[in-house]
């Protein structure tokens, strides 16, 4: 039986406006190396066969020379330009894959993804065709009205904060992205939502980690430095 091919897309094309820095958040230094390196290293150690790094067009040479080549990432086979929005970048990455059975889509600004999370995502996507990593929320969540009055309080036991990687059957997620791009649907905020909108497929949730944070603000960077020192 032919081995199933698993590809990871690592997204590093964002501008990071909320970081209040001239350097995009995924390239800011954490522990002496660019933030995105931590995710790339996790996938390098994992069972994925290939990694495609999606970045801004102006950062392609920097990523090739100062990240992939400098740190010796053998599984990173391509560095491709993303698009205006996150979903455009994912679509460019999916098209660059060409042939695969499964794809894991991960935000390069989440440095604390672990090999265990990646392996469990792979095991689950092979059974379910679609799964995303997340964690149950700790706080009470309120759904607000447009004029900021509390409207609905969902049962906290059923509310998850979604993380990455998000893992899918490659043919299924590619078709779903092709449909939302063709339809001009710009309402999607994550990859699972693309599949929900375009293919109406169920998406399995699996636990990630409360450490698997996305670095978005200067405060997040301080938390990441603490995590790096204490846990990694």
- What's the mean pLDDT when you consider all of the chain? 94
Higher per-residue confidence, 3 vs 97: 97
Q: Tell which residue, 56, 43, 53, has the closest CA to residue 16.
A: 56
Residue 41, pLDDT score: 97
pLDDT confidence band for 171 (50 / 70 / 90):
very high
Residue 111, pLDDT score: 97
Q: Distance (Å, rounded) from C-alpha 194 to C-alpha 117? A: 22
Q: Report the pLDDT averaged over residues 28-49.
A: 96
Angle at the Cα of 216 (from 213 to 218), degrees rounded to 5?
105
> Which tens digit of pLDDT belongs to each residue from 108-144?
999 999 999 999 999 999 999 999 999 999 999 999 9
Instruction: Give the chain's end-to-end CA distance (angstroms, integer).
Output: 38
Q: Distance (Å, rounded) from C-alpha 11 to C-alpha 86? A: 8
pLDDT confidence band for 21 (50 / 70 / 90):
low
Q: Would the pLDDT of 205 be above 80? A: yes
Residue positions counted in the chain: 232
> Which tens digit of pLDDT belongs to each residue from 64-84?
999 999 999 999 999 999 998
Q: Are 5 and 50 in contact (CB under 8 A)?
A: yes
Tokens read off for 11: 């997204």
Residue 1, pLDDT score: 63
Q: Report the pLDDT averaged over residues 189-199.
A: 91
Residue 231, pLDDT score: 73
Domain boundaries of the chain, sorted by first residue: 6-231
At 31, which helix (H) or strand (E)?
Answer: none
Domain 6-231 has CATH 1.10.10.10: no
């Amino acid at each position: 039986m032919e081995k199933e091919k698993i590809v990871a897309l690592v997204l590093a094309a964002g501008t990071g406006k909320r970081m209040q820095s001239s350097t995009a958040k995924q390239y800011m230094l954490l522990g002496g190396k660019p933030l995105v390196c931590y995710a790339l290293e996790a996938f390098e150690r994992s069972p994925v066969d290939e990694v495609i790094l999606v970045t801004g067009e102006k950062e392609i040479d920097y990523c090739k020379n100062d990240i992939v080549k400098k740190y010796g990432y053998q599984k990173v086979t391509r560095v491709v330009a993303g698009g205006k929005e996150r979903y455009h970048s994912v679509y460019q990455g999916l098209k660059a894959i060409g042939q695969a059975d499964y794809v894991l889509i991960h935000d390069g600004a989440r440095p604390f993804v672990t090999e265990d999370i990646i392996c469990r995502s792979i095991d689950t996507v092979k059974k379910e065709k679609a799964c995303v990593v997340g964690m149950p929320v700790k706080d009470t969540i309120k759904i607000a009205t447009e004029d900021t009055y509390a409207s609905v309080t969902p049962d906290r036991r059923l509310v998850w904060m979604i993380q990455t990687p998000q893992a899918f059957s490659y043919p299924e997620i590619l078709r779903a992205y092709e449909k939302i791009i063709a339809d001009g649907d710009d309402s999607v905020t994550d990859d699972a939502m693309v599949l929900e909108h375009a293919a109406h497929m169920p998406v399995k949730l699996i636990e990630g980690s409360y450490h698997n944070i996305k670095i978005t603000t200067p405060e997040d960077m301080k938390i990441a430095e603490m995590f790096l020192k204490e846990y990694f």
